[in-house]
Structure 1
Amino acid sequence: MENTSEHNYMTLEDQAEFLPTHWMRVGQLEKAGVPCRRGPFVEHEKQLIDDAIKRYQKEHNLDDNQLDDLIHPDAPNGSGSGFWSYVARAVPQRGVKSIFYYVRRARDGLGKGGKWGPAEDEQLRTAVQKHGNDWLAVADLVKRSPADCSDRYRQHVQYKGTKRKGVWSSEEDSQLLHVIEELAREGRTDLSARGYWVSVSKALGATRTPKQCQNKWSQTLKGNIENEGKTRCWKYEDSYILICKIASLDLDEEADIDWKSLSDPSWNMWSGNFLQRKWKRLKASCNVDDGVKCHRDIIHHLVTRTKPTLRADTSSSSTLPTHNESVRLSEAK
C-alpha cells in the first residue's frame, strides 16, 4: 500500500481520481486518510451505476454477452479494470472495489437467490472438497454466484456439526480472550485485518463462526474490559441518545453515517456495528402510514415519539441531551 500520510489532506479532485483507480477495501481507504462512503448503496447511487454501465456499453459497442463477460470473467485476469474505473468515476466517494462487489452481486447471472436448502449445502460441501477455494468452479456446479457460495460456505457449511448457538459460556469468554491475547503476542493487533476473525474461529475449534467471535468481542468483552468488568445493558434512554446523536449529524442519507464516530466514552462502550444494528431495529419500528419516507423523516418520527416516553419512564441522567438540544433535534428537517 502507498504511504498514507500524503492522503491525509486529500482534496475532492484528488479523491475523485484516487478512488476509481485504487483497489482497496473501505477499511484500507480510511486508514490511508481517503474519505469514502461505506454501507449499502442508496437508490441514487444504484441509478448512477446503471447509467454508467449503459454508457460504457454504448461507447464500446458491446452486446449483452460481452458486457457480462466484463462483469463476470471466466478467470480473474484484471482485463476489466478500465471498465470498473469508468463506472467508479460516476459514483462520488465510493471505492472501485466496493462498486465491483456491488455490481457483481446485483448482476449475478448464476444466482437464483433465496434461502439455501440442506441439499444445496451438501452440494456446496462436495463442490468445495473437489475444487477448494476456486469459487468460480464451485459456483458452476452449485448454480449460485461465486460470492454466494463463498459466503455460505465460510459462514455456515464449514461449521456444520461444530457450530454452537445461543449464549456464550464463561469458559468460552475466557477462551476467546486468551486467543486474542495470543494473537497480540504474535503481533496481530489489528482486529479489522482481513482474516483476523477467521483465525480466532479456527483457534476456538470452529465452535463459533468468525462473525460470532467478532460480535462477542465488540458487543460485550471489549466493553467489559474497558469498564473494569462492569456489564452495561442497553436501556431505553440509550435508544433516545442514539437517535439524538444521529439527528445531530444532519445528514440526508443513512449511508453517510460514520458509526464509529458515535462512540462516546461518557455514554457507551458499544462498537459502531452494535449501534448500527440498534438503529436498524429502531428504524424498523417506524410505520409507513406515519408518513415516514426518507432518513430525515425517520429521525423526526423517532425523536418526537421517543422523547415523551423517555421522560415518563426514566429518571434524569447527566448523559442525556439537554432539554434545549432535544427540542432542537426533534425539529430536525
Structure 2
Amino acid sequence: MATFTTPTTFLALAVVLAVLGGAAAQQLSPNFYSTTCPNLATIVRQGMASAVQTEKRMGASILRMFFHDCFVNGCDGSILLDDTSSFTGEKGAGPNANSVRGFEVIDAIKTQVEASCKATVSCADILALAARDGVSLLGGPTWSVPLGRKDSRTASQSAANANLPGPGSSLATLIRMFGNKNLSPRDMTALSGAHTIGRSQCQFFRNRIYNERNIDAAFAAQRQQTCPRSGGDSNLAPFDVQTPDGFDNAYYQNLVAQRGLLHSDQELFNGGSQDALVGQYSTNAAQFAADFVSAMVKMGNLLPSSGTPTEVRLNCRKVN
C-alpha cells in the first residue's frame, strides 16, 4: 500500500492558496501570531500529540469537528459553543448530537494557549491547527495553516441541520452542498478522504449493510457481526477496514472494492462523475494528499459573513 510523505511542495501549495484563494483568504496569514503568540504551533501540536497518543481516533474526531464548524457560517468556532438562553447551539444538531466529540481536547489546548498568550488566539484558529496536526500525527500530510480567524458570538442549530451533509446523501446532494461553500466536486471527493481515519456508529450504516446491493458481500457480513438489524445503534466500525488509524489512500481502494461504510461514501464510486478521480486516488497517494491539502486550505478560508459579531473567546464554550 502506498504511504504518504510530507514534501515541502505541500507547504508551498498551501501558502500559495492562502494568498490567492480570494478575498476571505487575504484576511488570513500563516504568520498571524508570529509575534503575539510565537509558541502557538508548539502548544497545539503537543496537545494533539497527547490526545492522539491516548486515543488515536481523536485525530479523526477533531478533523470532523473542524469540517462541521466550517460548513456552518464559516470557520468561526461556533460548534464549540454550549447552548444559552439566547440561542440553541450546533452541538445538538442532527449531524452533531452524540457524534461530534473532542471538545475537551480543544478546551485543554485553549487553557495552555491562554496561559502563554492571554486573549490573543481564537478558538477557531486553535481548531484549525488541531485538525491539521491530527492528520499529520496519523501519518498524513502537513501544511501551513492560514490564521487570523475570529470566534462567533452565536451559533445556529438550524444552520447546522441545513448545511451539513448526512450519511445517506446522494452524489448530487454532496456536490450541491459542497458547491454551496465554493468547493468543487474534486474538493469534495478529496475531503471525503478524511474517512480514511475514524469510526461511524451502526445507526448510520445499518441500511447500507443490509439493504444495498453495491456492497462487497464479505464486507457487509463482517459489519453485520457488530451492527444487528435492531439495537446496537452506537456500536462503532472503522470507515477504513484496512488501516483504520492511518491517514492514507486506502479509503479510495475500499470504494473501488465496494467497501465504503456509508451510503454517502460509496456514492463517490457508483457509476457517477467521481469514479475516475476515486480510481486515481486509489493508486496515487501523493495526488490524494496534495488535493486534500488544497481542499483543506480552501475550506479553512470559509469565514463568517460580513457583519457577523465576532471576538477572541477566552473560553471556547461561551462568549466573553
**Fold agreement, TM-score > 0.5:** no
Shorter chain as normaliser: what TM range?
under 0.3
- Give the alignment's TM-score, normalised by structure 1: 0.23
- Give the alignment's TM-score, normalised by structure 2: 0.24
Larger radius of gyration: 1
